[in-house]
Amino acid sequence: MSALGELNANRRSRSNYRDSSEPSDNYEFKTPEVFQRCLRSIFTIADIQQVEGLDHPVIGLDIGEVVGKEPYMERIYIEPEYLEAMKD
């Protein structure tokens, strides 16, 4: 089985990475804080890309709603092992 397992484009997934710190309520685009706001949230996979130097693809998630925008306006890329495929 590939590193992606059951993760495919347009499939819903949830970040399963755990972090003990909580983000603040003041929003400025700070990458660690944005990732923390995404924890345990469910997103549709928007993109899968192979990155030079990595032996596995990265998964693109449209996360705009986390920062008060339309989902497509902000995208993060995350490694597949930090995602959990959700049932349709």
Domain with 44 in it: 12-85
Q: Identify whether 2 is part of a domain.
A: no
Tokens describing residue 30:
């700070």
Q: Identify whether 7 is part of a domain.
A: no
**pLDDT for the residue 24:** 46
Q: Identify whether 3 is part of a domain.
A: no
Q: Identify whether 54 is part of a domain.
A: yes
CA 49 from centroid of its chain's CA atoms: 13
**pLDDT for the residue 20:** 44
The total domain count for the chain is 1
Q: How many CA atoms lie within 13 A of 84 on its CB side?
A: 11
**Looking at 9-13, 15-19, 48-52, which range is the least confident one?**
15-19
Q: Which residue has the higher pLDDT, 30 or 52?
A: 52
Q: Which pLDDT band, with edges at 50, 70 and 90, does 87 fall under?
A: confident
Q: Identify whether 1 is part of a domain.
A: no
